[in-house]
Amino acid sequence: MPQKENVVGYIYGDVGSTDFNFAVNGQNLRKFDYIYAPHKEGNILAQIMDIREISDLKFEDATMMMHSGEMPTIRTSLSAYADVIGYRDKKGLLQSPKSPFGSGTAIMLANEDLIRHVLGLSASKENGAYLGLLKGHNLKVFLNVDSLVQKHICILAKTGGGKSYACGVLVEEMMKHKIPMVIIDTHGEYHSLTKPNKNRKDLKNMTRFDVKNKSYSSQINEYSPIGSRGNIKHLTLKGVNLKAREIIDLLSAKLSGPQVGVLYQAIKELKEYKNVYNLRDIIDSVNRSKSNARWNVIASLESLDSIGVFNDTGTNTLDIVRNGKCTLINMKGVPPDVQEVVVARLTKELFDDRKAGKIPPFLMIVEEAHNYCPEKGVGKAVSSGILRTVASEGRKFGMGLCIVSQRPAKVDKNIISQCNTNIILKVTNPNDLKAIIQSVEGLTTQTYREIQRLPIGVALISGSGLQMPVMTEIRTRETNHGGKSVSISGKGEQQISQEPRVPKGPAPPPRINAPPIKTEPDTKTEPIVKTETATDKAKTVNRVAKRLGWVESNDPDEAIKILTKEAEKMNENVYKYLESLAKLGTKFCFVENPNCPSCPMSQGCLYKATHQTQKKRFFKR
């Protein structure tokens, strides 16, 4: 029998085996706290998904208060809703209870040992990457390093959601374990790994996360396709003895059948006279063809040669993948079409050499992955094919892949589905949310809904030995963050890094003997009539966005402004973005009796979740 001082509540109402409601004893419980409930099958771990205050204030009483202004004494109590996670059996497997909990069962806060044991947080400092603290707990979250590299990773978030920051934390941890890495650094922001974090706000937080600022400059190598400068070396690719298929895969403009025939014939003839040949030799050989199809082939080859990254030797892959080193491929200032070719060719060289055992096992991180492996129908990139191959076959040969993107819906689903470890930060776009729920296993309706409301810096992590997705507060970076937003106000970084000033709100009214409210109109001033500016479509968009939880305002004009800014941040067409919400309103999300079961956004809809929850709960007065 648990001691009364350890009890935080008691189960009540109709009880199942997968969730339950319990009356809260005290005011210290919070959403996402882990609890355990005694059960005949064992001590079951559960997580609080919602807490509500129940009062005896009725609608009629509230109506009378508006007229009289008197605040009656209100009796309140707290009710919490918990999702059951389960328990470990004798074989160490996670199991769910097969029978319901008993009404009146005492609920207690779970201790750290039980949380670690059931959730699978078995990795430690010696073999794990420390990403942060379990949300609501001072419990470090370590992910197994071997599992991270072997089974691929994806880091997904909206613009400004903290994906690059989280990736920087992951890279720091990998360098501590001397894991070789290659980072496709699209914006040149990972050079900051060479500088210690000196942000005053971050320095204060380091004590809480138990980290210290430091530099990893001794482990960083940096290359750029546009030439060497300072400590950045010139990246070149081996351009000799290219096969026809390799060339075709690198061309942005696809060749027709006759053009492909010209290319194959030219290389075949060239091989008869040269053991070593380059792109210029291929161009000359194509130029000797009598076919009229040769002109487009020559134009494509000239375009490929003009990139300037191909030469007879190329940068040695042994210099790029080195034990204990992290190599940055700095793409800042490189045209997008050149970036695709560099990623495609470099990835193929690394994959081939890794299969041959010429280079050690390593992790390849691809920033802005939607540019290099877009979803079919969204875009094309010459690097898509090889990245898809690495995602499906890299595990067998020791080449890990980490995909980082702000647009999950635009990344090849075949690649995301191969990622066993998922680090998901705040996402609000409906298409991106749909892509995530289709790709990530283990998401419940509640956790899926929470993705839209995640604070900046909090991630939902699944995979890598974890038995279920866990909310994790990403730790402070030890190095400087190179992906932070640039100040354009002229006030400098120091001004921006200061703690924001929170305005004081009005004091809450007392619950007893509140002063009467004046209900007589003021005859000295004329009433202000607000002009109706919102269209019916704007009202529909406002209704849908509020039910989804994206806006809180009932003012359509204000809601449109908020949604417009959100669309612009994601580089979306504003009107197409708003139109998608308007269509939801006309087809499914009606003013009364909305067709929630058929709505494609029902899984993330607060309106549906609230009404379903109300149907599940029965409160005893």
pLDDT mean across residues, the chain: 85
Domain 4-119 has CATH 3.30.450: no
Q: Per-residue pLDDT for 316 more than 60?
A: yes
Select from 18, 11, 35, 31 the least CA-distant residue to 136.
Answer: 31
In terms of pLDDT, which residue wins out, 549 or 319? 319
Q: Per-residue pLDDT for 492 more than 70?
A: no
In terms of pLDDT, which residue wins out, 514 or 69? 69
The predicted structure's pLDDT at residue 359: 96
Confidence band (pLDDT; 50, 70, 90) for 518?
very low
Confidence band (pLDDT; 50, 70, 90) for 487?
low
Q: Per-residue pLDDT for 523 more than 70?
A: no
The predicted structure's pLDDT at residue 502: 47
Q: C-alpha distances in angstroms, 166 versus 163, 239, 460? A: 5, 36, 11
Q: In one letter, which amino acid is 176?
A: K
Spell out the domain ranges in the chain: 4-119, 128-235+315-474, 244-311, 536-616
Q: In one letter, which amino acid is 533?
A: T
The predicted structure's pLDDT at residue 588: 86
The predicted structure's pLDDT at residue 193: 94
DSSP string computed for 73-115? ---EEEEEEEEEEEEE-TTS-EE--SSPPPTT-EEEEPPHHHH
In terms of pLDDT, which residue wins out, 63 or 367? 367
Which SS3 state, helix, strand or coil, does residue 60 take? helix
Contacts of 602 (CB under 8 A, 6+ apart): 596, 608
Confidence band (pLDDT; 50, 70, 90) for 494?
very low
The predicted structure's pLDDT at residue 615: 54
Give the residue-averaged pLDDT of 416-442: 84
Integer Cα distance of 332 and 239 in angstroms: 23
Tokens standing for residue 496 = 């921006």
Integer Cα distance of 354 and 317 in angstroms: 9
Confidence band (pLDDT; 50, 70, 90) for 496?
very low
The predicted structure's pLDDT at residue 227: 82
Q: Per-residue pLDDT for 422 more than 70?
A: yes
Integer Cα distance of 311 and 207 in angstroms: 50
CB 118 within 8 A of CB 145: no
In terms of pLDDT, which residue wins out, 185 or 56? 185
Give the residue-averaged pLDDT of 217-232: 91
The predicted structure's pLDDT at residue 531: 53
The predicted structure's pLDDT at residue 388: 94
pLDDT tens profile 77-135: 999 999 899 998 888 888 889 999 999 999 999 988 899 888 888 778 888 899 999 98
Query: Which residue in this structure is represented by tokens 């406002």?
Result: 542
Q: With pLDDT > 90 as the criterion, what percentage of the chain qualifies? A: 43
CATH of range 536-616; options 1.10.540.10, 1.10.1670.10, 3.40.50.11810, 3.30.70.20: 1.10.1670.10
User: What's the pTM value of the predicted model, to 2 decimals?
Assistant: 0.74
Q: With pLDDT > 70 as the criterion, what percentage of the chain qualifies? A: 87
The predicted structure's pLDDT at residue 561: 83
The predicted structure's pLDDT at residue 567: 78
CB 429 within 8 A of CB 161: no
Q: Per-residue pLDDT for 443 more than 70?
A: no
CB 86 within 8 A of CB 45: yes
CA end-to-end span of the chain, whole Å? 27
Classify domain 128-235+315-474 at the CATH superfamily level: P-loop containing nucleotide triphosphate hydrolases (3.40.50.300)
> 63: how many CB neighbours lie within 10 A of its CB?
10
Contacts of 416 (CB under 8 A, 6+ apart): 154, 403, 408, 435, 439
